[in-house]
């Protein structure tokens, strides 16, 4: 049970959260150590852990005289692990939540420039698999959906004539997200030329793999890594990168924060504020255009 839960959580961090591989490797070591200690205490399932077991685990870390920063990382890892189990409905309460939170500097996810997005979205070729991949990439960038939300789409969730996607996010909350014309065209090509070749059995899933089943998160992650390399992009790109780029580019081009919050499906606008890191040149441009005394006036009559 430990191995299955840990691997599923690490896949989530890699594919949904877009965490760096070094961070994933550190979390893997932390969680395996934690699972070994819990198993030695006859706790064979992560859902059976309580706060007392967490204190026993911390006692081992303190006994080994680990640095406070290392212990902080391990606690953060556990908090995220149990938050994930709680979000999936596997536990009622996070046993780590009662520990004092340790504040850490929040790092920004990777973001692509608009030119890099163009290169990435142009990478798939024109065969039937390329048409499918092109459609998925266009949808992610056009809507800012999480990859899990996109891959869970069924036939009927996308209204091409009306130009919107019916998306089910966290907590099974539904939101309506508009589609741009380029994404609509890519989806039309996929439905007409690609999906019929992939459909080998009755399946209501929108995006299919070679076996005719719903495409998995790991499968899509491998695709986006391959297209990133093909596009000549050196940044560490994940499906989350397109979501982050979607929000950043909207804000850069004048969208308001509340609208971006709705499009992303964030319950709290504080989460959306992560995406407000505009370039200094853009900030200066907005200031020059908006502030009445921002421009130095020369040759003005007195």
List, by residue number, the catalytic residues: 146, 170, 240, 243, 266, 275
Q: Is 99 exposed, middle or buried (0-12, 13-18, 19+ CB in 10 A)?
A: middle
Under 8 Å between Cβ of 129 and 145:
no
Distance between CA atoms of 68 and 98, rounded to whole angstroms? 18
- Long-range contacts of 275-284, Cβ-Cβ distance < 8 Å, separation of 24 or more: 275/244, 275/247, 275/248, 275/251, 276/251, 277/108, 277/248, 278/248, 278/251, 278/252, 279/252, 282/252
Q: List 158's β-bridge partners, or say none.
A: 165
Burial of 293 (0-12, 13-18, 19+ CB in 10 A): exposed
* Cβ neighbours around 289 below 10 Å, total: 9
| Residue 241 to residue 112: CA distance in whole angstroms | 7
Alpha helix ranges (H) inside 64-106: 68-87
Beta bridge partners of 278: none
The residues, any chain, with a CB within 8 Å of residue 276's CB and separated by 6 or more, are 251, 257
What's the rounded Cα separation, in Å, for the pair 236 and 294? 38
SS3 106: coil
């Amino acid at each position: 049970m430990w191995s299955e839960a840990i691997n599923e959580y690490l896949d989530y961090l890699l594919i949904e959260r877009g965490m760096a591989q070094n961070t994933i490797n550190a979390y893997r070591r932390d969680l395996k150590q934690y699972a070994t200690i819990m198993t030695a205490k006859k706790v064979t399932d992560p859902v059976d852990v309580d706060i007392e077991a967490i204190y026993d685990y911390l006692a081992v870390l303190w006994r080994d005289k680990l640095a406070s920063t290392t212990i902080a990382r391990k606690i953060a890892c556990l908090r995220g692990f149990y938050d994930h189990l709680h979000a999936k409905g596997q536990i009622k309460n996070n046993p780590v939540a009662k520990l004092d939170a340790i504040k850490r500097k929040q790092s920004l996810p990777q973001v692509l420039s608009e030119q890099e997005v163009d290169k990435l979205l142009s990478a798939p070729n024109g065969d039937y698999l390329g048409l499918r991949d092109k459609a998925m990439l266009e949808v992610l960038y056009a809507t800012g959906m999480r990859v899990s939300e996109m891959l869970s789409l069924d036939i009927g969730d996308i209204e091409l004539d009306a130009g919107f996607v019916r998306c089910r996010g966290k907590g099974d909350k539904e939101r309506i997200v508009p589609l741009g014309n380029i994404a609509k065209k890519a989806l039309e090509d996929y439905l007409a030329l690609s999906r019929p070749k992939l459909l080998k059995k009755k399946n209501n899933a929108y995006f299919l793999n070679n076996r005719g089943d719903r495409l998995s998160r790991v499968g899509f992650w491998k695709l986006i890594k391959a297209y990133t390399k093909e596009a000549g992009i050196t940044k560490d790109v994940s499906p989350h990168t397109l979501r982050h780029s979607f929000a950043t580019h909207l804000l850069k081009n004048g969208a308001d924060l509340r609208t971006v919050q709705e499009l992303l499906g964030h319950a709290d606008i504080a989460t959306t504020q992560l995406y407000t890191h505009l370039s200094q040149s853009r900030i200066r441009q907005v200031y020059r255009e908006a502030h009445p005394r921002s421009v130095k006036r020369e040759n003005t009559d007195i």
